[in-house]
Amino acid sequence: MQSRIDGSLIASAYRSIPRKAMMPMPNGRPDPQLQQALEKVSPQAVQKARTTSQDFEAMFLNSMFSQMTTGLKGEGPFGDTPGTGVWRSMLTEQYSKSFAQAGGVGVSDAVFRTLIMQQANQTQPAAKETP
């Protein structure tokens, strides 16, 4: 009898860890500056920054994939018809979104860190009341 690890079980256990308990580790190294910045920024801003950075990486990858496929002619999933360019652009767009959602090439991590650091620097601490 062969046992398998259920990925959804691991994912749910990972999501159950409190946000402040996890140290962000871009590029496999702990990033205490990013951790401090995440504590200053609202969860909504974090989610928006994550979505924005992933969308940016998808656009970057789409541009890269489009350049890679411009020279392709002839046989393939679309053949060599007049509509090939349109369908190929749709395919590269979906490829780029899938790549970005799966972790991409690291562009979104850098963009996310930059966005969060900027948000944290703009967030002013609450003013102390003086008697």
pLDDT in tens, 41-66: 999 999 999 999 999 999 999 999 88
Q: Give the per-residue pLDDT at 5.
A: 59
Mean pLDDT of 77-100: 80
Please say if the pLDDT value at position 113 is more than 80. yes
Distance of alpha carbon 32 from the chain centroid? 20
Structural domain boundaries enclosing 106: 17-120
Structural domain contains residue 4: no
Structural domain contains residue 63: yes
Using an 8 Å Cβ cutoff, are 101 and 50 in contact?
no
Q: What's the pTM? A: 0.66
Nearest C-alpha neighbor of 43 from the set 16, 15, 12, 19: 19
Structural domain contains residue 88: yes
Nearest C-alpha neighbor of 91 from the set 106, 108, 72: 72
Mean pLDDT of 70-95: 76
Residue with the larger pLDDT of the pair 80 and 53: 53
Structural domain contains residue 114: yes
Structural domain contains residue 105: yes
Nearest C-alpha neighbor of 112 from the set 19, 22, 24, 30: 24
Q: What is the number of structural domains in the chain?
A: 1
Structural domain contains residue 10: no
Structural domain contains residue 38: yes
